């Protein structure tokens, strides 16, 4: 090891083992904080307030073992993006800020039996048709524009509602985290304002870092697991990244304001008001948990509708039924959630609110919550990179339960703010460069969105995945590379 300690502007980290750094417990911290990173990634992580934020997280009541920052960590709202915090579900709390505004912002990958050779020559037609048929950008407009009763059904039933209404098939349920449905959801805990914001956005990408991308599989690192996931080199897959749109944002905002009004005493104990939390067992904690689960269902339906619309676009472009192209859901993983899960702590089974903000559940082989199709090899984990970089499919690693409460990274992690990115890059130049140098076709509602998501804005996804793989929390299975990308 080249260093046993790492100093980052007044915060000292001690190296526990390779790629595991700890901020020791001191003062009012209730536990240590850990950062999982190489020194190269630490050099980037220290540039914003990520380390301060993960240290602040240890002040939350009920924090168990340690607060964790993943290799892709960067500054967020109160709790860093890439943060994992397991809080005791009986004596701890639940924090909307530690979940995030875009509840269940997640990714899903759909397989096809098409090869890259079969797709070549269709790129422009495909990207144009996807852009025309999948709503994107700020504001309203979705594949489904719903009344109040429909919104309530979506919130309470999740993907089951979508399949029943012709937006998917039964197999889609079996390959989604929790089969696309959180039973604890209660639509009555979502405000009318949030429902009004969401009712015309069901089946839409939104803006920012959300996207729909057609990709080709360039590498399969683990043949056995790759076969279980139905992946092989040169295959075409589709990746969808979006969340709960305005409904999730409004829900987070609603409960942050309620916490400020009802639990000022707890708020005053925390070093950052953005970590606002409701004590476990309180009415507000119960209400937020039910509302959050409803927003999780909403986001799963959102991605389901986009995926099924994508199948229909492929049917028109390639002039054959989507079933013949074997356009099946590989998996859907959620970010920005807090789930009640049972984990072993000090030799005892304890129920915890596991907050994963910009982090991915990564359960290993044999875990009962991994879908039966993948239980022998482990849960699929999907890690998007930037538009000009590779993306990865991992599997939940055998060390994830011990090291990270069954979690790993969720992407490359930002290096630059959106404002910085727009100052640094011009959207048109980025699009032209991607097409000319990498044969990646990008279409977006605005050049600003492309600039905000330029390849240089993100950390090195290869390094993030290398650390995850080395720690055994998420093992490399396959790599994909973009072909077409649409953005808001």
Contact 28, 59 (CB under 8 A): yes
N-term to C-term CA, the chain: 44
209 has binding-site annotation: yes
Tell which residue, 354, 343, 320, has the closest CA to residue 94. Answer: 354
386 has binding-site annotation: yes
413 has binding-site annotation: yes
336 has binding-site annotation: yes
265 has binding-site annotation: no
443 has binding-site annotation: no
372 has binding-site annotation: no
212 has binding-site annotation: yes
Q: Residue 407 corresponds to which tokens in the numbers above? A: 């979690």
User: Has 167 been annotated as catalytic?
Assistant: no
The C-alpha atoms of residue 123 and residue 19 are separated, in whole angstroms, by 40
The C-alpha atoms of residue 474 and residue 466 are separated, in whole angstroms, by 9
**Cβ neighbourhood burial of 10 (10 Å; 0-12, 13-18, 19+):** exposed
Please list the residues that pair with 443 across neighbouring strands: 486
156 has binding-site annotation: no
Q: Coil, strand, or helix at residue 7?
A: strand
- 356 Cβ contact list (under 8 Å, min separation 6): 83, 84, 334, 335, 336, 337, 338, 339, 407
210 has binding-site annotation: yes
HSE-up of residue 380 (Cα within 13 Å, Cβ side): 30
Number of Cβ atoms within 10 Å of the Cβ of 420: 13
387 has binding-site annotation: yes
CA dihedral 19, 398, 466, 2 (to 10 degrees): 20
**Cβ neighbourhood burial of 342 (10 Å; 0-12, 13-18, 19+):** exposed
412 has binding-site annotation: yes
Q: Residue 358 corresponds to which tokens in the numbers above? A: 């910009």
The C-alpha atoms of residue 67 and residue 78 are separated, in whole angstroms, by 13
97 has binding-site annotation: no
Q: Which of 167, 181, 263, 410 is catalytic?
A: 410
Q: Coil, strand, or helix at residue 143?
A: coil
487 has binding-site annotation: yes
246 has binding-site annotation: no
Q: Which residues are annotated as a binding site for Mn(2+)?
A: 102, 210, 241, 335
The annotation places the binding site at 102, 209-213, 241, 335-336, 384-387, 410-413, 487
Q: Which residues are annotated as a binding site for GMP?
A: 209-213, 335-336, 384-387, 410-413, 487
What is the set of active-site residues? Answer: 410
């Amino acid at each position: 090891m080249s260093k046993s300690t790492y100093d980052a502007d007044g915060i000292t980290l001690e190296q526990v083992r390779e790629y595991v750094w700890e901020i020791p417990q001191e003062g009012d911290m209730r536990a240590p904080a850990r950062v999982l990173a190489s020194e190269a990634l630490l050099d980037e992580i220290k540039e914003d307030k990520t380390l301060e934020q993960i240290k602040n997280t240890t002040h939350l009541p009920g924090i168990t073992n340690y607060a964790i920052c993943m290799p892709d960590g960067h500054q967020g709202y109160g709790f860093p993006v890439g943060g994992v915090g397991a809080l005791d579900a009986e004596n701890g709390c639940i924090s909307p800020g530690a979940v995030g505004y875009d509840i269940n912002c997640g990714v899903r990958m759909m397989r096809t039996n098409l090869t890259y050779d079969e797709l070549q020559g269709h790129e422009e037609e495909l990207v144009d048709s996807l852009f025309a048929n999948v709503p994107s950008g700020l504001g309203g407009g979705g594949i489904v524009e719903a009344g109040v009763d429909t919104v309530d059904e979506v919130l309470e039933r999740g993907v089951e509602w979508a399949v029943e209404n012709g937006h998917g098939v039964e197999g889609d349920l079996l390959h989604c985290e929790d089969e696309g449905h959180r039973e604890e959801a209660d639509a009555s805990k979502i405000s009318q304002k949030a429902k009004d914001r969401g009712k015309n956005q069901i089946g839409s990408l939104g803006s920012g870092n959300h996207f729909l991308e057609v990709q080709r599989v360039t590498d399969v690192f683990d043949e056995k697991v790759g076969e279980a996931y139905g992946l092989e080199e040169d295959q075409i897959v589709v990746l969808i990244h979006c969340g709960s749109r305005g409904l999730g944002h409004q829900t987070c905002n609603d409960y942050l304001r309620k916490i400020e009004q009802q639990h000022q005493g707890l708020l005053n104990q925390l070093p950052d008001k953005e970590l606002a939390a409701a004590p476990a067992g309180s009415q507000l904690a119960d209400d937020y948990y039910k509302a959050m689960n409803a927003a999780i269902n909403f986001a799963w339906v959102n991605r389901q509708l986009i995926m099924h619309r994508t199948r229909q676009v492929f049917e028109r472009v390639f002039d054959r039924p989507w079933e013949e192209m074997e356009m099946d859901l590989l998996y859907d993983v959620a970010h920005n959630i807090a789930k009640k899960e049972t984990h072993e702590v000090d030799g005892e089974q304890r129920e915890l609110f596991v907050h994963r903000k910009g982090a991915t559940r990564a359960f290993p082989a044999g875990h009962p919550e991994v879908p039966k199709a993948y239980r022998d090899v482990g849960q699929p984990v999907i890690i998007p990179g930037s538009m000009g970089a590779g993306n990865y499919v991992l599997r939940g690693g055998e060390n994830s339960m011990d090291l990270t409460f069954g979690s790993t990274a969720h992407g490359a992690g930002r290096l630059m703010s959106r404002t910085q990115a727009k100052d640094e890059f011009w959207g048109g130049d980025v699009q032209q460069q991607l097409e000319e140098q990498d044969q990646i076709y990008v279409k977006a509602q605005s050049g600003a969105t492309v600039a905000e998501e330029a390849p240089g804005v993100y950390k090195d996804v290869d390094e993030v995945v290398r650390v995850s793989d080395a720690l055994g929390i998420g093992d490399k299975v396959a790599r994909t590379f973009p072909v077409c990308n649409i953005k808001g």
